[in-house]
């Protein structure tokens, strides 16, 4: 029996990818007057939030709801048949247990034993009365037995605080034992165990909470506060334990940095000590168990800080700090408070409205971006009501004293014992002045730029430089398309037309290890951030070195820290760190570990070399070295470098497993970092700062070739600026604001790496398809080394040509080659089936050069074929076809309207893209017949360019573009030189002014907001299907299930290899997954949810032939989108110049 009816991981579905968004609220009496009225109002408030929840296939199966109240002492005394001590001297554990008698009895025995071993007494058990007659059919099988255990406080606990701590320790210990005993982990759950609060929750709809738990209806059941939560899970699998509130919080939002936060907590095991918890601390690990939701993990962290001696407000300010680094208006004391605590704990970053209570205080806070709603009002009879929106309780206007909303990073706190509201300014000034944080920082903080300058190594001669560049896989393209624009413009390079080269695992050429990792991005359940407009909340500041003891409240001010404003170190910066021991009075000690191994050992030697490196790192930390520099500078003819990403992650995870990671910082000195994605992966897997010495040496050698005369210092400064801007963009795609949160957060999916390799060296990273492991990674490193120091004639004087960004002879394979383009154009212009068959064969037959995952698939043909006349005819099949969303502006009027005419002629649909459409194209002709140039699908994107009521009512489908395959997590961009008068008129903008759509829809910060927009669009045009466009990534199926529950009629899954008119090259290559992965997961997740019949699924991104369509159909698609191929038919020759407005054939 399981209280979680989540299916086990199967096919492409993984229960770990469940996400939720929600409505939160509380009602309380400021003067701590307990009454049943408060509980009743809490339940009414919860019911009014029902629109923020959702239901799936079972109309009586919600996503979970609950209510957290103060201990109802009088009620409990009346209903138990044993004596209770005075209030505050007993605690109640609210426990979900299995329905089977034997495991339930065993678990209860474990609970009783732990309570007694903890020095407390078991007063008795009580069955919580419930009425399950209204539960949905999918909920009832997972319904637990709900029981309360009453615990008497022992005389050894001098006060209620120490009793609360004892209950915390007892609960952790019994959880760990029951988990370790091999019971189904989801068959048992303690919703609360406290002497102050009691938590009633379950897999219920909002209105069911008060009906299911009969206690809540009893007039004697009284509390001065009620904290409530209504969950909107993207999936519909009932989980009793994931319903909220948790033990201290309820949370509307998503913690984007969760993987890193959990890793860093585990990494503190060796260094964490607590005067308050004492020896008990060692017995309660893991502090955050695996397999929980992000909100449950956050609740564990908050609980730990409280039990470790922090106040409620202090703990919340550590976990969710407001934006301070760029805020010039913040007072110095508060800035010092946040800066001091930054070293103590990385922020739990992501959109969040969190309401919290410990039974004595209740409050709420918003994340630094304010990306979730929270409004509150205060009445003249001392009530405070806070919720996701107003109107949750009917309060006459004349009774309202104050009505306001929580603002980004702000906190509201009501102290029931003091009987007053404490506003944000008072809370934070009191806490920030409680200790001399500014003074401590002055004494113990070293800023890297203020240290004496070291002398960096000399730049190598040209021959040595070439050997090194080849050892690390540099190509001519890297220098031309990536490095040169970064130095010339101070920004990362822009490209167009998407990625039509194979995923790294299918390539016949050695690839940089980072290219196997695809950046994650926010879609629907949380918003991407605009790093330019939201500059105030973004920060690249990073702390290098060991972290203080998180619970060492009395050790404050004694810990030295090294801070740098951004993570890219010049050679001089690295020398400052290398010799920091002499400039810090011995507070920092640096050890350089070389990540190279003897070339004679070949590829077989890498596994042993990694093991040596990890044990050297462990020994160095135990020997007192608190900054480790991982360096591949010793690469030469006799030494092969371990890929730096692999070395960094291996050491990072080894130190986490040994509990030593927070005792030392990791700095990387590498030749393997050139483009933004290299830095993002190194940082995401644990590097705190990176010195790209070979990139700097390369820039030095290229100075004479840049279009303007630059000093090396200026060229280096521009390059570092470009990397910084690129990192901000990568972080912001996932809704992460600070590098401190991003470091170690592993916000990547692996594509083409096998699970044993990931488990060993990149623990916690998801992969949906297997692939290569350490032997193949080692062989690729050895191949690069052999090219560098071998005798191949072509590499003696020059780098490899590359061919990743454009077709090159002797370069990387591409799908679109001069041959495939010419065959398709000749076939379509001459209407020649024979030439088209040759084109199809070139694309489909991938026996010798693998280009796509679908190329690996073979059809399993039926033993008995059916007659062709029983198959859906071609004239019907083409009605399932649509053109991709290419905007007017990205492509010309002629190209855009031709696509519409063609699709209307065959009964398919064309898509306007995000640039609107001229009214003269969608208005009927004078004779009343449909306009042949009308696009059937009208897109609504984040910039809302060209979106009017007239535009929307002239649509068959309205597509909400959440993300685009070539640049998920970013908005579309149209350079100013392409915005002519006609385009400006259609987009309602100004000619010559560049147009950039914001990364998020500013009215969609959550799945509830998306449901609202879908509702609004259905009211504008009731006849149109409403579609939502998502991009393939691990977890997209879960999001698609949420989209279906938000009442969309259609969802599009776009592959990362789709085209674009303009996008940063980093996004084109490294964000998103192939559509085969996302489509299969979406179909399987919708089927498991019993939602597949409610929604149509379209796939697009690199669809080129009939075989692609059939593979897409077999993986679950109903409809199919084509974009690049139709453009090529129109005349595009793939010059990839769309973004420059220099298209030689006039398509763009």
**What residues are annotated to the active site?**
22
What sections of 121-188 are H helices per DSSP?
160-180
Query: 928: which 2 tokens?
Result: 């009343």
Alpha-carbon gap, residue 1140 to 1142, rounded angstroms? 5
CB atoms near residue 385 (< 10 Å): 22
CB atoms near residue 9 (< 10 Å): 11
User: Alpha carbon of 859 to those of 469, 855, 1109, 1110, 1113: distances in Å?
Assistant: 43, 11, 13, 9, 12
| Among candidate residues 245, 201, 215, 207, the one with its CA nearest the CA of residue 227 | 245
Task: Indicate the DSSP class of residue 687.
Answer: -
Dihedral Cα 896, 897, 903, 909, nearest 10 deg: 70
Q: How far is C-alpha 458 from the geometric centre of its chain's CA atoms?
A: 41
CB atoms near residue 439 (< 10 Å): 11
Query: 1073: which 2 tokens?
Result: 């997954």
| Sequential DSSP letters for 569-617 | PPHHHHHHHHTHHHHTTTS--EEEEE-EEEGGGTTTHHHHHHHHHHHHH
Alpha-carbon gap, residue 817 to 1127, rounded angstroms? 15
Containing 339, the helix (H) or strand (E) segment is helix 332-342
Q: Is 285 exposed, middle or buried (0-12, 13-18, 19+ CB in 10 A)?
A: middle
Task: Indicate the DSSP class of residue 7.
Answer: P
| Among candidate residues 960, 942, 935, the one with its CA nearest the CA of residue 1047 | 960
Alpha-carbon gap, residue 1135 to 402, rounded angstroms? 61
- Is the bond leading into 992 cis (omega within 30 degrees of zero)? no
Alpha-carbon gap, residue 1065 to 674, rounded angstroms? 13
| Among candidate residues 1095, 983, 1112, the one with its CA nearest the CA of residue 1043 | 1095
Alpha-carbon gap, residue 482 to 1066, rounded angstroms? 9
Containing 1111, the helix (H) or strand (E) segment is helix 1106-1114
CA angle 745, 514, 10 (to 5 degrees): 65
**Residue pair 1059/1013 in contact by the 8 Å Cβ criterion:** no
Query: 716: which 2 tokens?
Result: 């280096």
| Among candidate residues 1058, 1030, 1062, the one with its CA nearest the CA of residue 1043 | 1030
| Among candidate residues 1032, 999, 1008, 1012, the one with its CA nearest the CA of residue 1112 | 1032
Q: What is the pairing mode between strands 383-387 and 400-405? A: unpaired
Query: 728: which 2 tokens?
Result: 């901000």
The residues near 988 (Cβ < 8 Å, ≥ 6 apart) are 916, 945, 946
CB atoms near residue 658 (< 10 Å): 17
| Among candidate residues 673, 711, 712, the one with its CA nearest the CA of residue 689 | 673
**Residue pair 988/920 in contact by the 8 Å Cβ criterion:** no
**Residue pair 7/15 in contact by the 8 Å Cβ criterion:** yes
């Amino acid at each position: 029996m399981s209280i979680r009816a989540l299916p086990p991981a199967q096919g492409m579905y993984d229960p770990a990818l469940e996400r939720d968004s929600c409505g939160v609220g509380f009602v309380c009496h400021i003067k701590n007057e307990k009454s049943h009225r408060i509980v009743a109002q809490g339940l009414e408030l919860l019911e009014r939030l029902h629109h923020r929840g959702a239901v799936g296939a079972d109309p009586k199966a919600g996503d979970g709801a609950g209510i957290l109240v103060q201990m109802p002492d009088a009620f409990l005394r009346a209903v138990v048949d044993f004596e209770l001590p005075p209030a505050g001297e007993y605690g109640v554990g609210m426990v979900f247990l299995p329905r089977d008698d034997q495991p339930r009895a065993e678990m209860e025995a474990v609970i009783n034993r732990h309570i007694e071993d903890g020095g407390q007494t078991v007063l008795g058990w009580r069955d919580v009365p419930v009425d399950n007659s209204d539960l949905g059919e999918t909920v009832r099988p997972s319904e637990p037995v709900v029981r309360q255990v009453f615990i008497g406080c022992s005389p050894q606990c001098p006060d209620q605080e120490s009793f609360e701590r004892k209950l915390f320790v007892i609960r952790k210990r019994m959880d760990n034992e029951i988990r370790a005993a091999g019971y189904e982990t989801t068959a048992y759950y303690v919703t609360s165990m406290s002497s102050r609060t009691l938590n009633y929750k379950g897999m219920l709809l909002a209105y069911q909470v008060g009906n299911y738990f009969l206690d809540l209806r009893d007039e004697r059941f009284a509390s001065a506060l009620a904290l409530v939560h209504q969950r909107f899970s993207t999936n519909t699998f009932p989980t009793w334990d994931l319903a909220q509130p948790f033990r201290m919080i309820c949370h509307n939002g998503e913690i984007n940095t969760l993987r890193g936060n959990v890793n860093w907590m585990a990494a503190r095991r060796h260094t964490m000590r607590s005067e308050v918890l004492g020896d008990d601390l060692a017995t309660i690990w893991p502090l955050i168990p695996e397999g929980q939701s992000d909100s449950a993990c956050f609740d564990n962290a908050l609980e730990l800080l409280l039990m470790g001696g922090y106040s409620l407000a202090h703990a919340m300010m550590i976990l969710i700090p407001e934006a301070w680094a760029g805020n010039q208006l913040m007072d110095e004391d508060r800035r010092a408070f946040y800066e001091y605590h930054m070293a103590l704990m990385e922020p739990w970053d992501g959109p969040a409205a969190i309401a919290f209570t410990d039974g004595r205080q209740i409050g709420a806070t918003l994340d630094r971006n304010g990306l979730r709603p929270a409004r509150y009002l205060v009445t003249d009879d001392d009530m405070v009501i806070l919720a996701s929106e107003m109107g949750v309780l009917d309060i006459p206007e004349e009774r309202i004293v104050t009505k306001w909303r929580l603002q980004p990073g702000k906190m509201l706190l009501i102290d029931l014992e003091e009987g007053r509201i404490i506003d944000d300014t008072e809370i934070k000034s009191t806490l920030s002045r409680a200790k001399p944080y500014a003074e401590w920082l002055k004494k113990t903080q070293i800023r890297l730029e203020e240290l004496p300058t070291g002398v960096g190594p000399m730049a190598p001669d040209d021959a040595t430089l070439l050997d090194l560049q080849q050892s690390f896989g540099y190509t001519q393209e890297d220098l031309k398309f990536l490095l040169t624009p970064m130095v010339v413009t101070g920004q990362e390079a822009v490209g167009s037309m998407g990625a039509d080269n194979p995923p790294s695992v299918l390539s016949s050429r050695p690839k940089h290890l980072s290219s196997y990792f695809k950046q994650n991005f926010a879609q629907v359940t949380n918003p991407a951030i605009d790093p330019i407009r939201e500059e105030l909340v973004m920060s690249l500041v990073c702390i290098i070195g060991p972290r203080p003891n998180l619970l060492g409240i009395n050790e404050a001010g004694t810990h030295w820290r090294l801070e740098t404003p951004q993570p890219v170190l010049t050679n001089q910066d690295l020398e400052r760190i290398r010799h920091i021991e002499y400039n810090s009075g011995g507070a920092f000690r640096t050890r350089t570990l070389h990540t190279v191994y003897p070339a004679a050992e070949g590829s077989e030697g890498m596994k042993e070399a990694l093991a040596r490196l990890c044990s050297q790192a462990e020994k160095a930390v135990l020997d007192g070295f608190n900054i480790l520099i991982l360096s591949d500078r010793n690469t030469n003819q006799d030494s092969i470098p371990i890929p730096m990403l692999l070395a960094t992650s291996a050491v990072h995870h080894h130190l986490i497993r040994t509990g030593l990671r927070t005792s030392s910082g990791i700095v990387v000195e590498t030749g393997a970092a050139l483009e933004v994605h290299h830095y993002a992966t190194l940082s995401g897997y644990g590097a705190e700062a990176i010195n790209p010495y070979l990139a700097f040496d390369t820039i030095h050698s290229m100075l004479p070739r840049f279009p303007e005369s630059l000093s090396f210092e200026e060229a280096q400064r521009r390059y570092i600026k470009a990397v910084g801007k690129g990192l901000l963009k990568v972080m912001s795609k996932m809704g992460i604001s600070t590098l401190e949160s991003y470091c170690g957060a592993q916000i990547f999916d692996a594509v083409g790496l096998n699970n044993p390799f990931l488990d060993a060296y990149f623990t916690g990273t998801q992969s949906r398809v297997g692939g290569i492991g350490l032997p193949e990674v080692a062989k690729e490193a050895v191949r690069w080394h052999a090219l560098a120091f071998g005798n191949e004639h072509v590499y003696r004087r020059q780098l490899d040509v590359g061919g990743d960004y454009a077709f090159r002879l002797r370069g990387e394979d591409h799908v679109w080659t001069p041959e495939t383009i010419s065959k398709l154009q000749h076939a379509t212009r001459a209407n020649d089936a024979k030439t088209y068959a040759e084109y199809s064969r070139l694309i489909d037959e991938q026996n010798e050069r693998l280009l796509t995952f679908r190329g690996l698939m073979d059809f399993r043909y039926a033993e008995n074929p059916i007659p062709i006349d029983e198959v859906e005819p071609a004239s019907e099949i083409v009605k399932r076809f649509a053109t991709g969303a290419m905007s007017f502006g990205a492509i010309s009027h002629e190209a855009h309207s031709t696509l519409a005419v063609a699709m209307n002629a065959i009964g398919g649909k064309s898509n306007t893209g995000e640039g609107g459409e001229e009214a003269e194209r969608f208005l009927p002709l004078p004779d009343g017949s449909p306009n042949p140039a009308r696009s059937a699908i009208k897109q609504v994107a984040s910039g809302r360019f060209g979106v009017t009521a007239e535009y929307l009512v002239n649509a068959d489908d309205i597509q909400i573009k959440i993300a685009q395959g070539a640049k998920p997590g970013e908005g579309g961009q149209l350079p100013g030189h392409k915005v002519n008068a006609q385009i400006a008129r259609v987009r309602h903008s100004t000619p010559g002014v560049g147009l950039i759509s914001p990364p998020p829809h500013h009215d969609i910060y959550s799945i509830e907001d998306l449901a609202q927009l879908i509702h609004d669009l259905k009211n504008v045009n009731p006849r149109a299907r409403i579609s939502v466009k998502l991009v393939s990534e691990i977890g997209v199926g879960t999001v698609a299930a949420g989209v279906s529950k938000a009442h969309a009629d259609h969802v599009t899954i776009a592959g990362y290899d789709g085209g674009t008119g303009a996008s940063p090259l980093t996004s084109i290559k490294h964000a998103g997954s192939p559509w085969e992965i996302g489509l299969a997961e979406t179909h399987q997740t919708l089927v498991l949810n019993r939602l597949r019949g409610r929604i149509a699924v379209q796939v697009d991104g690199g669809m080129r032939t009939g075989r692609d369509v059939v593979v897409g159909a077999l993986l679950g698609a109903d409809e199919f989108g084509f974009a690049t191929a139709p453009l090529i038919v129109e005349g595009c020759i793939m010059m990839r110049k769309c973004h420059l407005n220099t298209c030689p054939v006039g398509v763009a």
